[in-house]
Amino acid sequence: MLKGWKSIEPYLLVTPQTLVFLLFLVFPIATIFVVSFWEFTGYSMTPAFTLDNYITIFRSPVSLATYLNTFKFVGLVWFFTLIIAFPVSYFLAFHITSLRWQIILFLICTIPFWTSNIIRMISWIPFLGREGLLNKLLITLQITQQPLDIFLFSNFAVVLAMVHLYTLFMIVPIFNSMMRIDRDLIAAARDAGASGFQVLKEVIVPLTIPGIAIGSIFIVTLVMGEFVTVRLMSGGQAASVGSLIRNQIGSLQYPLAAANAVVLLVITLAIIMGILRLVDIRKEL
């Protein structure tokens, strides 16, 4: 009896975790996957196995353009968060030598996270708007005569808000990677005659790549699924796959939304697998 108990004990131990995963991860995704093959009319959907939903996605120029636009957001946000996060992390990790100041400055980086996403986005509006601070400044400086419309409710505003929202997700892993670099490695590189730029290129950047990879995964997953920022900051003028899915759900086109969700998921996973194949991040975990 006791022996029988022993043999199933490990399985019992993992059961709660497995149930949680099944219920909250596997089951919803499986449902979406199944529904993506269903048929639908304007008013109802019926279980079936049809590829029509997928064919619609790949045939429709609108949805293809939306996918392209989403990739553009991912690319731009990734690029800008990276070029902001790398110098910030570098400064924190290598120029600030006292741990106390490192902690204080790092906390300052996290201040935007003390308020909600929506509030952070909305706070851009008075700054970027037609009558906003930025336009007033430009007019005062006589850089432009007329207020410019391109700042708010545009792709520019979307990318700006997302960079603002997500840069910390890039800073944290890069900073973490940099803090793990043995300072003697830099001394050794200097000893061997490396200039400041060479130390950066030969030692710091290669050893920071895993952190960059982790940050990139965060950015890709976050931006791929974005729809709130896109909607709010573009004033409904730009679209991402996320907002497309949301609109389709709004108009009860569940199977089509599900198919889009599956395509989006597959693309996101493919990008992440691509990153993981290029970079070994295990040491960072």
Partner 1 sequence: MSNTPVSPPTQLGLAPSPSASGSTTRQTIAASTQGVMLRSVMKKYGSTVALEGINLDVPAGSYCCLLGPSGCGKTSTLRIIAGHEEATSGDVMIGDRRVNDLSPAKRSTAMVFQNYALFPHKTVWQNVEFGLKMRGVNERERKPRVDEMLDILGLSKFASRKPSMLSGGQQQRVALARALATRPQVLLLDEPLSALDESLRVKTRGELRKLQRQFGMTFIQVTHAQDEAFSLADQIVVMDHGHIDQIGMPQEIFNAPASRFVARFMGDNNIFVGQVTSVAADGDARLIQIEADGLGTFLCRGQAADVGTTAACCIRADRMQVTPLSSAFDPTQPNQVAARVVSVEFTGYVTRVSLVIEATGQEMLYKVSTHGWMTQPLNEQQLVCLQWSTDDCIFLSH
Q: Please state the closest distance from residue 190 (CB atom) to partner 1, in A.
A: 5
State how far the Cα of 274 lies from the Cα of 257, in Å rounded to an integer.
26
Cβ-based nearer residue to partner 1, 173 or 242: 173
Q: To the nearest whole angstrom, how small is the minimum distance from the Cβ of residue 206 to partner 1?
A: 5
| H or E stretch at 114 | none
Residue 190 within binding range of partner 1, rule CB under 8 A: yes
The Cα–Cα gap between 38 and 275 comes to: 33
Binding partner 1 by CB under 8 A: which of 158, 203, 259, 262?
203
**What would the x/- binding string for partner 1 be over residues 159 to 188, using CB under 8 A?**
-----------------------x-xx-xx
CB of 282 to partner 1, least distance (A): 13
Under the binding rule (CB under 8 A), the answer on residue 194 touching partner 1 is yes
Measured CA to CA in angstroms, residue 140 lies from 29, 133, 135, 148 at distances of 54, 10, 8, 13
CB of 178 to partner 1, least distance (A): 14
Q: Are 272 and 217 in contact (CB under 8 A)?
A: yes
Is 134 exposed, middle or buried, given 0-12, 13-18 or 19+ CB atoms closer than 10 A?
middle
Shortest CA distance to 189 belongs to which of 212, 96, 181? 181
Q: Among 44, 99, 191, 282, which residue interacts with partner 1 (rule: CB under 8 A)?
A: 191
Q: State the nearest-atom distance from the C-beta of 204 to partner 1, in Å.
A: 11
Q: Which residues pair with 45 in a beta bridge?
A: 40
Number of chain positions touching partner 1 (CB under 8 A): 17
**C-beta of residue 85 within 8 angstroms of C-beta of residue 174:** yes
Is residue 207 a contact residue for partner 1 (CB under 8 A)?
A: yes
* Spatial distance between the Cα atoms of 119 and 108, rounded to a whole number of angstroms: 18
To the nearest whole angstrom, how small is the minimum distance from the Cβ of residue 38 to partner 1?
50
Distance CA 257, CA 35 (A): 9
Q: Which CB sits closer to partner 1, 60 or 195?
A: 195
From 27-35, 70-78, 190-198, 228-236, span contacting partner 1 (CB under 8 A): 190-198
CB of 115 to partner 1, least distance (A): 39
| Eight-class DSSP state of 148 | P
Considering beta carbons, is residue 94 or 156 the nearer one to partner 1? 94
Contact between residue 33 and residue 259 where contact means Cβ atoms under 8 Å apart:
no
Is residue 285 close enough to count as binding partner 1 by CB under 8 A?
A: no
From candidates 8, 22, 103, 192, binder to partner 1 by CB under 8 A: 192
Classify residue 51 by burial, with Cβ atoms within 10 Å: 0-12, 13-18, 19+: exposed
**195 binding partner 1? (CB under 8 A):** yes
Q: And the tokens for 256? A: 């089509």
106, two tokens: 């790092």
Binding flag, residue 202, partner 1 (CB under 8 A): yes
Instruction: Give contact residues for partner 1 (rule: CB under 8 A).
Output: 182, 184-185, 187-195, 198, 202-203, 206-207
